Structure 1
């Protein structure tokens, strides 16, 4: 199984991971033989990649949380955002309707807290937790899928940092709703494909304050989680927003979410730019330790990230094409690989010991 950009997928391949539409319903089920029509339809829905099975990559790529839980979390976040948009548009117009919308909002926040408990139970039950995000984002659902990814990434980082259970709960909750203020930003700014004007950029950068202010009255959202929504765009050097805080002035949970937020954003395809390779995204984050990010958190991140899961096909610096065979904790960029060659010779390299060879990036066209 391997993740392939849509432009490289060929008819006759077999789908390796079920694809869901923006409502969480099954669009194409795992195992279906892909046709040109299927591929065209998936492209039209704004999906940039899919998992396929072929002769080069046989290993299963498992999501860090169950697919059912991921879809449930995405649906809950999406409904919460919609509820917040309705509340924002109608507040003050009708006191009776205000009460109904307020009750609806609180119900969704209760649902989010339940999702947090489920994600925590799943991750804390694992002996070894490495970051390996395998969901396929669509344009329409990007914000909600991103929120769930950031929550999972943040929680894995929090476990690596040995945070207490209460802190992990606040971290996961804050990460799930870190972008909730975007539900209060006009759609024509939020989804604009062209470059934003300076005024529009300033409006977008208001989303942490808008989200934080809106959450103040909710008893279901803890104070540390609310702080995450306010401070997740602050930087170590004080050049972030909305308040220009730096170093220890930024809540530690918000510092964790900042790393997870940027990693998931960089590795996601967007209409205006292609995703960075996981390797390039990791290098960006490591290069910005102590400037944009907390250096200790970056070190923890480097130990638990899996840029190339088992089964990924990669290009090596010596020109060889290989399949990732085994990933080692704390050495995720130095896995064991099996070389693909026309003679079908069994050549295995353990990059922990062949230090002159590095992974240059994923490979999609094999000749």
Structure 2
């Protein structure tokens, strides 16, 4: 079992295993997570101004290769499952070759924001992601399966771009707007390339002063894009305003409602969701279910129409997934219900009963654990 511990850098010793990735302002990985530290690693951390890191001890529990596979059903129950299941809407599928190319492309963008090829590289990555959506007429995203890169900055940028394009389609934006919101989603955190390493890599929560600097990343991102005439103003505003809130309590400008650009309102929901479910040096990840519930509670901060489009576009429990019900029974997802992402239709694997969690009042007290 892995035990994670925060250790001040002054007492870090060679041989300790670091449990976070150390990146520079260009987004390059300097020390990979789970590296055994040597003297030169520790010296480099000191020079970067890092004051402490997370380390880990022990070994991870290794699950059998088939641990996550749904259990085989008795023939009568399997037959019933086949009769009642309804296939999920087409989901985004991204091949391994595209994942690798996209991860390299995003890293290139963070390494050199002044490159003359910056816009072309952004467009090329977005082309790859949009093609993955269009190749199978995807109208939904399996939010438990998004994974482009193990490194947070790259994974987060691509996840947000992909989800934002799907949500933008559901919202009714045209093809050009969907493509441009993909670029905006990809670049929404590009300003973090200008945030000091010691803040980006801090293993504990930021102080008020450090957070004030981190909050400037959206302004830094806007300034990076400001002179790039081949990017639209909507893309630039999406980057600048993606942390604004509908009630005016966001940043950097504290604007509210329709004064926030539509691209920013669309990106915001995907950005918040992906940040919630991703482990960071200073916090454990929320479960997808908990993250969706938190999104649903943010009615004052988020655009309600955009929120609804997000909830209609994500699949939390793909058909065929086995889940535990609050009544003690294990069940298999047989149908996802529009507008009820948390309450699909399931087949009880003990009783053979179909539970319509969204529409049957007899199931009102049954939830997925």
Measured against the shorter chain, the TM-score band is: 0.7 to 0.9
In the superposition, the TM-score normalised over structure 2's length comes to 0.72
> Structure 2: 5+ residue runs without aligned partners?
4-27, 30-55, 73-86
Q: In the alignment, what sits opposite 2:66? A: 53
Cα displacement (A) at 1:241: 0.5
Q: Which residue does 2:146 correspond to in 1?
A: 135
| Cα separation, 2, equivalents of 1:335 and 1:52 | 27
The SS at the match of 1:195 is coil
Larger radius of gyration: 2
1:70 to 95, 99, 108: 99
Q: Secondary structure at the match of 1:332?
A: coil
Q: CA contact under 8 A between 1:256 and 1:297: conserved in structure 2?
A: yes
Structure-2 separation of matches of 1:153 and 1:48: 31
Residue 94 of structure 1 is matched in structure 2 by none
Match of 1:253 among 240, 247, 263: 263
Number of aligned residues: 299
| Alpha carbons 1:314, 1:360 under 8 Å: kept | yes
Cα deviation for residue 357 of structure 1 reads 4.5
**Aligned residue runs from structure 1 range 28-43, under 5 A:** none
1:1-367 matches, within 5 Å, as 53-54=66-67, 56-57=69-70, 64-67=92-95, 68-84=97-113, 102=114, 105-127=115-137, 129-133=139-143, 134-136=145-147, 141-289=151-299, 291-341=300-350, 346-354=352-360, 355-361=363-369
1: CA distance between counterparts of 2:230 and 2:71?
44
Shift of 1:340: 4.2
The alpha carbon displacement at 1:136 in A equals: 4.3
The 1:49/1:206 distance shift into structure 2, 3 A limit, reads farther
Deviates more, 1:277-286 or 1:307-316: 307-316
TM superposition shift of 1:238 = 0.6
Unaligned runs of 5+ in 1: 8-21, 24-42, 85-101, 362-367
TM value normalised by structure 1 = 0.72
Tell me if structure 1 keeps the 8 A contact 2:161–2:186: yes
**Helix, strand or coil for the counterpart of 1:53?**
coil
RMSD: 3.3
Deviations 1:42-77 (A, max 9, x none): x99xx9999953475179999623133233222211
CA drift at 1:351: 2.6
